[in-house]
Amino acid sequence: MNDLLSVEHLEQLTREAIPALSTEAYQNWLLRYANGYTKRANSVHLITDLETENINEQIGYVEDYYYTKGLEASFKIVEGKKSVSLANHLNKKGYQKVNRSSVLVADLTFNGEIVVQTSNVNVVQVDVDKWLKGFQMLSGGENEEMMTLKKMLSLSKQKILYIQIFNKNELVATGLASKDDEFIGLYNIVTKKEARKQGWGTLLLHAFFKWGIQVGCKKVYLQVIQDNKAALCLYEKFGFKVIYDYYFYTRKRVNRS
């Protein structure tokens, strides 16, 4: 695997595209916090190989960090040989494995079917405030979550494109793309519930692919929960391939004897 497709490089891209509100380095870990909005931004990430000599002390530190913020302790674990030891330790402590997800990558050279737009369909680039309003409407997010997301986006050093798709003046799909070197990353892709399976996701991805090529990128990545079969089917049509999987080990606060 080349450096561009290495787990380390892709993990860095995903952390920097939509940054956490705060990040603390502790030994071989990065502890990320963003008011509880998304597990990716409110979990600890192992950056280098696990040091097992004082593993219980490390886990305790992580737990205290999140418990004092009113959150469950959450460890993001990239699947592979390096994660086995940590997973075993967390299993013994009663952690639950949740949100199994994949990181997928495709080349920005997709030459699929051209989606024909009619006079009733508009693909619009918008500013962050209008995008957040539309994203909240389609996703059902809370006001506090949207305020947190806006702060996170303001911390990003990457160029971000916000897209909305309207059909007969009705918002039917939205998403954002971030640019970093040779990659664009796709985030917060959502289609109106009543408008799913009508090709809006395809049209949205076409718009992002076109933009990615225009800004000189070569590849595109995204993250998806493996239970989302409809999304996985769509992404496969665009040439996306799984590079690696990850999941979270979580546990609510417990009293220590």
How do residues 198-216 score in pLDDT, each as one tens digit? 889 999 999 999 999 999 9
Q: Quickly tell me which residue has 């998403």 as its tokens.
A: 175
Task: Give yes or no: residues 66 and 119 share one domain.
Answer: no
Task: Give yes or no: residues 87 and 149 share one domain.
Answer: no
In a domain, 257, yes or no: no
Segments forming the whole domain that contains residue 22: 3-101+246-251
How do residues 27-75 score in pLDDT, each as one tens digit? 999 999 999 999 999 999 998 888 778 899 999 999 999 999 999 999 9
In a domain, 187, yes or no: yes
In a domain, 175, yes or no: yes
Task: Give yes or no: residues 84 and 116 share one domain.
Answer: no
In a domain, 171, yes or no: yes
Task: Give yes or no: residues 122 and 73 share one domain.
Answer: no
Give me the residues paired with residue 223 across strands. Answer: 103
In a domain, 29, yes or no: yes
Residue 256 reports pLDDT greater than 60: no
Distance (Å, rounded) from C-alpha 12 to C-alpha 130?
A: 28
Task: Give yes or no: residues 96 and 114 share one domain.
Answer: no
Task: Give yes or no: residues 124 and 52 share one domain.
Answer: no
CATH code of residue 125: 3.40.630.30
Whole-model pTM? 0.91
Distance (Å, rounded) from C-alpha 29 to C-alpha 74?
A: 12
Looking at the structure of the chain, the number of domains it has is: 2
With 0-12 CB in 10 A as exposed, 13-18 as middle and 19+ as buried, what is 175?
A: buried
In a domain, 123, yes or no: yes
In a domain, 44, yes or no: yes
Q: Give, in degrees to the nearest 5, the angle at Cα 245 between 219 and 145.
A: 80
How do residues 88-147 score in pLDDT, each as one tens digit? 999 999 999 999 999 999 999 755 554 545 668 899 999 999 999 999 999 999 999 999
Which ranges constitute the DSSP H helices of the chain?
7-17, 55-67, 84-92, 128-139, 143-155, 200-214, 229-237
Task: Give yes or no: residues 124 and 198 share one domain.
Answer: yes
